[in-house]
Amino acid sequence: MADETRTIKTDYLARVEGEGGMLIRLKGNEIEEVKLNIFEPPRFFEAFLRGRYFTEAPDITARICGICPVAYQMAACNSMESVCGVKVEGQLKALRRLLYCGEWIESHALHVYMLHAPDFLGYPSAIEIAKDAPEVVETALRLKKIGNHIMTVVGGREIHPINVKVGGFYKAPSKAELEAMVPDLEWALETSLETVKWANTLDFPDFEMDYEFAALDAGGVYPIEGGERFVSNRGLDIPIDEFYEHVVEEHVKHANALQGHMKERDSYLTGPLARYALWYDLLSPEARGAAEGIGLPKVVKNPFKSILVRSVELVEACAEALRLIREYEQPAEASIEVVPKAGAACGASEAPRGTLCHRYELDDKGIILDATITPPTAQNQPQIEADLRGFVGQFMDLSNEELTLRCEQAIRNYDPCISCATHFLTLEIERT
Amino acid sequence: MHEQATIRDLVATVLHVAEENDAKRVVRIKVKLGALSHFTPEHFEEHWVDVAAGTIAEGCKVEAELSEDLTDPNAHGVILEDVEIALG
Amino acid sequence: MRAVLAPEALEAIVDVLRRRDWRVIAPTVRDKAIVYGEIASATELPVGWKDVQGPGSYKLERRDDEARFGYAVGPQSWKRELLAPSVRLLQIKRTNGGLEPVKDAAETKRTAFFGVRPCEVAAIKIQDRVLIGGKYADEDYLQRRENSFVIAVNCGEPAANCFCASMGTGPKVEDGYDLVLTEITGGTHHFVAEAGTDEGAELLAELPQQPAADADLTAAQTVTDAAREKMGITLDRSDVHDLLLANLEHPRYDDVASRCLACTNCTLACPTCFCTAVDDANDLSGEADDRLRSWDSCFTLQYSEMHGGGTRKETKSRYRQWLTHKLSTWHDQFDTLGCVGCGRCITWCPVGIDIREEVAAIRATQEAKS
Amino acid sequence: MAQTLTETAGSLEAMTPVPYAVTAKRQDTYDTWTLELEPVDGAPIVPGPGQFNMLYAFGVGEVPISNAGNFETDERLVHTIRAVGAVTKALCAAEIGTIVGVRGPFGNTWPIVEAKGKDVVVVAGGIGLPPLRPAIYHVLKNRKDYGRFALLYGARTPTDLVFLDEVKSWQCNYDVDLDITVDVGDTDWKGKVGLVTKLIPPAQFDADDAQAFVVGPEIMMKFVAQELMNRDLPAESINVSLERTMRCGVGLCGHCQIGPTLVCRDGACYTWDKVEKLLAVKEL
Amino acid sequence: MGPTIAVWKFSSCDGCQLTLLDCEDELLGILGRVQIAYFPEATRAEIEGPWDLSLVEGSVTTPEEAERIKEIREKSGLVVAIGACATAGGIQALRNWANVKEYASTVYAHPEYLETLETSTPHSDHIAVDLELQGCPISKVQLVDALLAVLAGRRPNVPTSAVCTECKRRQTPCVQVLGTPCLGPVTQAGCGAICPSFARGCYGCFGPKESPNTVSLAKRWSEMGASEDQLLRAFRTFNGYKPAFREESARHGG
Ligand SMILES: Cc1cc2nc3c(=O)[nH]c(=O)nc-3n(C[C@H](O)[C@H](O)[C@H](O)COP(=O)(O)OP(=O)(O)OC[C@H]3O[C@@H](n4cnc5c(N)ncnc54)[C@H](O)[C@@H]3O)c2cc1C
Ligand code: SF4
Ligand code: SF4
Ligand code: SF4
């Protein structure tokens, strides 16, 4: 072989694309690998919280997620208050719950109608639904708006509310301001009852998983703004302060989001399915009635039916908001005094998409020495991958395109709070 | 997961270069793997062999060098430095 | 017409007016300050409160009596009722190629301003001059102004930043009111009331009252005299017009610019500042524009922005524009001063810049020069 | 209020634009167009020389534009507009038939009638010529009532000169001493090159009995006024037109203040003695 | 067929793009006049570039992002940066004062897996931006106005003045004068002055206004009892990397 050869300089750069993505590697009919990539560039919240003053945590951590800022604010407050040995109770606690109901209504309405439903209805998005069935989208928007309105009245604005403070609020709304929302909320309650029925008309793939469901135990009420214990249907029952003794976070190479899993246990699931399964009996009569009305069992194991459970929780949030407003008395002080103390504690809350845990360590001046934050999506990610593994097995013969759609839908079952996960850009299916 | 896409892109580029120069075969390629590219030389070669199979780049020699410079603006990418082709 | 009223008669005032279906706007306590708001009863007045004001500071404290008007002016002025902070002047619709301006039906409800201080009456007169006294009138302002009914209250206790005596606008109101009250707290708590218009007299006639003797009028006069005495003259207005125009490049403007935040608080709190922005905003369909008018301020860059950049880029020029306008060029433009000495710009300046001090500083160095 | 306010109140319609249709349009330079406007209903307003209207482009906004018309006719409005920003671009893009809003006429007028019997010197810089055109028309129409008429016109480049043909026709038909210059010439330019101030020393007029009308950028007006005063023309005989941001055009919004004066109400035409000191102060 | 709009995410919390979906009253009206070309938070449909308008959320924190914004610039008629991240680097720009490698090892067990730039920077550091909407998050009103302005071909109404203008228009008694330190006088309007209306001081989430006199305000805060630490943190939060705030925080240590 004496071919003439030549070397050509190219200096060509091939880029590694950085978007959310998912990889499924199939070998014949075997699933070799399922990987969910979350290319959320790291933002280092836990690092830069160090050195900040403890009262800043609710405002700063809200910025972790614009879709569920209240969840972060509440977990931060719960944790800080626990470190400092104070408890926010009575009407202030009720106001927090009301604010959070606003976030649930907003987030669940957005997710049910605008993110998840298009998958079931075969539309790329709600924008296209709006062309064919504007009333569906209008309903969604009005529901969303009512949720947002609660956040505006109680929290100052819908995204990154400004009225939340360690110890309570900066200013408590008057009873009249809250009562003004009642007619809208009554409409929202009616509509969410309809939503449950409407969601029940969708087609669900036959698919069940045997989950370990985990959620907060809020001591006799459906868990929303906080809870003292973290429990599961498989016997986990720990004070929230021991969260990190049982849950470890792992940084896996393919995702910048940390993944959580329980020591000596498998993956577990937080979020609507878990809350519902664990605390069905604590739902309001309206929400329970809605579930019964469509024959929804007390434990739902089909993740695709999370849209039903989310709708039931929408009913719950509306009914609960109405109850809280009815029972509201404007507190004399908008917050209780919180004097910083050296120490460390966990605090958690139930984001629309699952349990969110914060842990802070403070010095005696109130400066944050250490912060750990575990969002629900991080906890759910191993479970999502596990689901997908099970799920792909059933749908292996679909075309790549259809399989992609199905997988996206499956991921959306979990309402992950990252935009790259709400709509995937790249899904690679390798078949060999 | 993006290794595949990157390599496909590189193979396409190499074939394009080869074609433009009327090459019969690609003899050797030289690449610099960015420190953050997620590749090791072995890893890269493995993928390369996969993707280049069935093209005129099949069986070519792969010289892959791993850069350790994290601050390089191209640290996330793979640079195809040169391509050696056989003519005629 | 004049009379002596017991404190309970204030309730009667509110009653009578509300029975006529008027809005009654009066001082009330909210957000740790005395602000104006609609009231349904005289009990909502700030009974037994006083304000402690300083440059850039304001604090409410309890009084040891039940005075209804035992405080000076708060953060708001009646400007909010007459020259609304934001209002849609009109809507312009596109109708198959044409344009159709549509005006909003004007609010026609009569409104009583209850508790208007002499400086505020003066401020309303100044805004009348500017907004409806010239060749062109502001329709929205005129509408609101015609529907207003002014119950003034003379001042007995000026705050630290009050200087109406210097500006000749208080502490006793001269005209421009329908009814005026002077509160007398020493001895039996009572009010001396005087009507300024027929309508004021009509209202007064409906109130439970005692006739006013000369002694009562003297007592009322003593109240405002004492207030004037207490305030003293802290800004010499006699030559201020020329003083400022002769010192447009005074170094004091650099000094004040190092402190001034160009935040607009002074102008927006001021009861006479009338500058507004007029902007068009499109509706969603793109088929109609809303013409909106909102409070503007010479302290913003955009205020003086022309094609190619702002005229007053430096804070120093903006402060100079404000100061000279208030005390000097306002006179050239509208034949009146633009400042009534209410002290709001001093109290509500977040860094406590004091117009009196700035003028004094310019005067001091000017005098040193001459 | 039982006081009589209504009598003191002036016109109330000032803030409402009246629909006018674009009936003719001409491109003057690469960025300048002249529009003719006629009212959709009723008779047109008749702005005097030096006055301006607030022109409103639907959806985009409203700006002050000087009257550039009235020669033969009062039937339509003529405005020459340079497209520099959003509103002026939208106005310049208006097609024939487009409806625009008009409020006006506002501001004072050039003292052109008062200049009767005197020599007239008009100095224009670039787009400063159109606002002077109504005054020029007045002089031309009543040519015998005036003395000498010097028209000194300067622009940055030859492409910035507007109405050149019309200007030249004035020279032939009405006995106008026309002198034109550009700051920077081009290959086709055969005329003078240099600042417009250079045209003043040789201009023919009797400084004791003349009125000057000057419009251009502020800095140009300053130098022109200085040159004219160097020719012993008193500051009171030099008329300039000032420009400031205007939001209402009728003295209510406050934006157009320059010291003691409101440009929309007291101007835009001023004699130089009134404004010289004001313009000398930086950022007044 | 209206103009095409693409919505891009960089390092951010998604709140600013969610603002678009939160325009409940306006959304359908706007969607009827534009074509959404790319908006992964809302749709899986895509229209290939070039695009008439790109809304860009989030800051540039990775080499990939630094490249991507250049491509977006090339293919977009107008680029509008939305939010504190996109206009100032956002809260994650706090890394710009720290050692990223240390940061990474604080948070992640295997920092070697991470690709990240040392800094978090606004898009204007990388490309020419046509319009910046400040705010953490941006204001709905300003977003809708900007979109309508693009549709109408007018200037968007983005005031560069202080939060105080809105505070006074809504007639809130000034909290700073009442004793609570407030960043309103140096912060750009847009939020509607909500914090003072809830009895708290503005914390500057809309970033610096034009010519902010931070020195004078900081002096006043000190007189009111604020510590140097407090001042440093106040200026170094959501818009800490914007030059005016960056310089002021540097004056108080660190
Ligand atoms: C008395 C007078 C007569 C004039 N006559 C003529 C004439 O005959 N021909 C001519 O071509 N020009 C004339 N002009 C100048 C003309 O008015 C300006 O060129 C015009 O206003 C530019 O507006 P624009 O929207 O096109 O430019 P832009 O640059 O878009 O806006 C110009 C100005 O409008 C204001 N503005 C607009 N939108 C905003 C916003 N969102 N926020 C803040 N400020 C904003 C600002 O002050 C800005 O600088 C005259 C001006 C005056 C005062
Ligand atoms: S004087 Fe005071 S209130 Fe006025 S702009 Fe300056 S800092 Fe603000
Ligand atoms: S409260 Fe803050 S924003 Fe409002 S006026 Fe005072 S300083 Fe300005
Ligand atoms: S007041 Fe300040 S911190 Fe509060 S929302 Fe507005 S800009 Fe943000």
Say if residue E188's pLDDT is above 80. yes
Closest E-chain CA to B34? E115
* Element housing A390 (H / E): helix A376-394
Contact residues, chain E, for D85 at CB < 8 Å: 155
For the ranges B9-23, E27-41, E221-235, the one whose mean pLDDT is highest: E221-235
Q: Give pLDDT, residue A37.
A: 63
Tens digits of per-residue pLDDT, D26-65? Answer: 999 999 999 999 999 988 999 999 999 999 999 999 999 9
Name the DSSP letter for residue C78. T
Cross-chain Cβ contact D11/C325 below 8 Å: no
Tell me the pairing of strands C309-310 and D18-29: unpaired
Contact residues, chain E, for B71 at CB < 8 Å: 118
Q: What is the mean pLDDT of chain E?
A: 91
Angstroms from C151 CA to nearest CA on chain D: 10
Give the confidence band of E102 by pLDDT, cuts at 50, 70, 90: low
Residues with CB under 6 A from ligand 2: C 260-266, 299, 349, 351, 353
The distance from CA C180 to its chain's CA centroid, rounded to whole angstroms, is 17
Give the confidence band of D11 by pLDDT, cuts at 50, 70, 90: confident
* Closest Cβ opposite residue B1 in set A9, A10, A23: A23
Task: Work out the number of other CB atoms within 10 angstroms of the CB of residue A1.
Answer: 6
Q: Give pLDDT, residue E41.
A: 74
Going from the Cα of C346 to the center of ligand 2, the distance in angstroms, rounded, reads 9
Q: For atom 20 of ligand 1, which residue has the closest CA?
A: D63
Tens digits of per-residue pLDDT, D208-222? Answer: 999 999 999 999 999
Closest E-chain CA to B38? E113
Q: What is the mean pLDDT of chain D?
A: 92
Answer yes or no: are the C-beta atoms of C236 and C166 closer than 8 Å.
Answer: yes
Q: What whole-number distance in Å separates Cα of residue B59 and Cα of residue B53?
A: 8
Q: What single letter denotes the amino acid at residue C125?
A: K
Q: Give pLDDT, residue B4.
A: 56
Closest by CA to A99, choosing from A335, A321, A315, is A321
Tens digits of per-residue pLDDT, C214-225? Answer: 999 999 999 999
Q: Give pLDDT, residue E45.
A: 77
Cross-chain Cβ contact B36/E118 below 8 Å: no
Instruction: Return the domain boundaries, chain C.
Output: 2-85+108-231, 240-279+296-369
Closest A-chain CA to B1? A23
Chain E contact present for B68, CB below 8 A: no
Name the DSSP letter for residue A93. H
Q: CA angle at residue C241 from C237 to C242, to 5 degrees?
A: 120
Cross-chain Cβ contact C260/E213 below 8 Å: yes
Task: Work out the number of other CB atoms within 10 angstroms of the CB of residue E25.
Answer: 13
**Where, residue-wise, is CATH 1.10.645.10 in chain A?**
45-380
CATH among 1.10.645.10, 1.50.10.10, 3.40.50.620, 3.50.30.30 for A45-380: 1.10.645.10
Q: For atom 8 of ligand 2, which residue has the closest CA?
A: C263
Helix (H, G, I), strand (E, B) or coil at E131: strand
% of chain C exceeding 90 in pLDDT:
89
Runs of H (alpha helix) within C114-264: 118-132, 139-146, 164-167, 198-205, 214-231, 240-245, 252-259
Chain E contact present for B76, CB below 8 A: yes
Q: Give pLDDT, residue A425.
A: 42
Touch between D and E (at least 3 CB pairs under 8 Å): yes
Spans of chain A, pLDDT less than 70:
1-3, 10-22, 36-42, 248-265, 417-432
Runs of H (alpha helix) within C90-159: 118-132, 139-146
Cross-chain Cβ contact E164/C265 below 8 Å: yes
Tens digits of per-residue pLDDT, C49-70? Answer: 999 999 999 999 999 999 999 9
Going from the Cα of A297 to the center of ligand 1, the distance in angstroms, rounded, reads 67
Going from the Cα of C43 to the center of ligand 3, the distance in angstroms, rounded, reads 29
Give the 3-state secondary structure of chain D.
CCCCCCCCCCECHHHCCEEEEEEEEEEEECCEEEEEEEECCCCCCCCCCCCEEEEEECCCEEEEEECCCCCCCCCCEEEEEECCCHHHHHHHCCCCCCEEEEEEEECCCCCCCCCCCCEEEEEEEHHHHHHHHHHHHHHHHCHHHCCCEEEEEEECCHHHCCCHHHHHHHHHHHCCEEEEEECCCCCCCCCEECCHHHHCCCCCCCHHHEEEEEECCHHHHHHHHHHHHHCCCCHHHEEEECCCCCCCCCCCCCCCEECCEEHHHHCCEEEHHHHHHHHHCCCC
**Domains within chain D, CATH numbers bracketed:** 13-106 (2.40.30.10), 119-241 (3.40.50.80)
Matching residue, tokens 């309001």: A284
Tens digits of per-residue pLDDT, C245-259? Answer: 999 999 999 999 999
Ramachandran angles phi, psi of D211, nearest 5°: -125, 135
Ramachandran angles phi, psi of C199, nearest 5°: -65, -35
CA distances from D167 to D139, D163, D179 (A): 14, 6, 10
With both helix axes pointing from N to C terminus, report the angle between A134-155 and A182-199 in degrees, rounded to the nearest 10: 140
The DSSP code sequence of E63-123 is: HHHHHHHHHHHHHEEEEEEEHHHHHH--GGGGGGGS-HHHHHHHH-S-GGG----S--B-G
% of chain C exceeding 70 in pLDDT:
99
Q: Give pLDDT, residue A15.
A: 40
Q: What whole-number distance in Å separates Cα of residue D52 and Cα of residue D64?
A: 6
Does residue E174 have its Cβ closer than 6 Å to ligand 3?
yes
Contact residues, chain A, for B82 at CB < 8 Å: 7-11
Task: Work out the number of other CB atoms within 10 angstroms of the CB of residue C228.
Answer: 17
Q: What whole-number distance in Å separates Cα of residue D10 and Cα of residue E135?
A: 43
Contact residues, chain B, for A37 at CB < 8 Å: 1
- D-contacting residues in C 217-246 (Cβ below 8 Å): 245
Contact residues, chain D, for C327 at CB < 8 Å: none
Cross-chain Cβ contact A160/E44 below 8 Å: no
The tokens for A9 are 């300089």
Q: What whole-number distance in Å separates Cα of residue C48 and Cα of residue C68?
A: 6
Runs of H (alpha helix) within A63-133: 69-84, 90-109, 117-121, 126-132
Chain C contact partners (≥3 CB pairs within 8 A): D, E
Ramachandran angles phi, psi of A342, nearest 5°: -75, 140
Q: Give pLDDT, residue A426.
A: 53
